[in-house]
Amino acid sequence: MRRGLDSVKLIVSNLKSKTWLVPDFICDEVLDVIKEHVADVQFYHVKDDFDLECKLEADPNKEYVIYTVDYFGSEQAELQVSDKTIVVRDSVWFHIPVRGVKSNEIWFNSYRKILHAEGFKGSLIISPIPLYDMGMLQTIYPDEVSSSVIRLMWFHDELKARVKNLQCLTLELSQLAVMRQFQFPSVFPIRLKDRDHVLSQLDFKFPGMWKNKYNLDNKLYSELVLIPLDSRYSPADLTQLASNIKKLHATEPIRDNPSSSG
């Protein structure tokens, strides 16, 4: 596959007759593909810390697909569902799965998301479930796929740089951070109640956030900020950025607190 969205299209085209449970915090382009082809789409809630509130009350007359997102390099816990329920694992921020891919799961990634290097594109799908495109069976990678198949030579040094940057921002922005275990750190997520006010004052190119064109009820769309951790940036760069964010955050207009009266 050339990109992660191509993997989504292939998976959706094979499973479009089923009922899909989709998170209420999701990339617009992914949801476009799902809603275009799937008649029965339902939503479950993603909490502020990216944990999932996904409780499937199964109708015996329906077949289900649960779409999960491993947000920003933090892998979700395994869902406890029937083997008849297919779990699609959107892991575009990972180069390989951390835990194995079960017989009822489909895993895919996006190299464009995780690698900031010229020429690195594409998407790997690991699917024990047969997937067909125009009547032709696509390449299926078994659960025991070796990480060495797709490990790149420079990952070791790149990961070292990202871990240092992660440690730096964890120290500098702990009060604003969405604290999780990041198995493959790509970005550092923080939440700002007046995000647009703060970002408008900063001379820094942040990764684009999802626009929420379907008006889903999740405040992460309006509060989340992603700070890149890759080796283009040094701890000194990110320390200065964190300092600027804290100064601006401290001067944010207070909107939620009622004014006191004398």
Q: Could you read off the pLDDT of 131-183 as tens digits, one per residue?
A: 988 666 665 544 333 343 444 555 678 889 999 999 999 999 999 999 888 88
Per-residue confidence (pLDDT) for residue 143, from 0 to 100: 38
Domain 155-250 CATH superfamily: Aspartate Aminotransferase, domain 1 (3.90.1150.10)
Per-residue confidence (pLDDT) for residue 8, from 0 to 100: 96
Q: What's the CA angle centered on 188, arms 187 and 193, to 5 degrees?
A: 125
The span from the first CA to the last CA of the chain, in angstroms, equals 65
Per-residue confidence (pLDDT) for residue 144, from 0 to 100: 35
Q: What is the mean pLDDT of residues 198-207?
A: 94
Domain borders along the chain are: 4-149, 155-250
What is the CATH topology of the domain spanning 4-149?
Answer: Aspartate Aminotransferase; domain 2 (3.40.640)
Say which residue, 128 or 259, is predicted with more confidence: 128
86-98: per-residue pLDDT in tens? 999 999 988 889 9
Per-residue confidence (pLDDT) for residue 134, from 0 to 100: 67
209-260: per-residue pLDDT in tens? 899 999 999 999 999 999 999 999 999 999 999 999 999 987 654 444 444 3
Q: What is the mean pLDDT of residues 19-25?
A: 97
Per-residue confidence (pLDDT) for residue 24, from 0 to 100: 98
pLDDT at 30 over 60: yes
pLDDT above 70 as % of the chain: 83
pLDDT at 49 over 70: yes
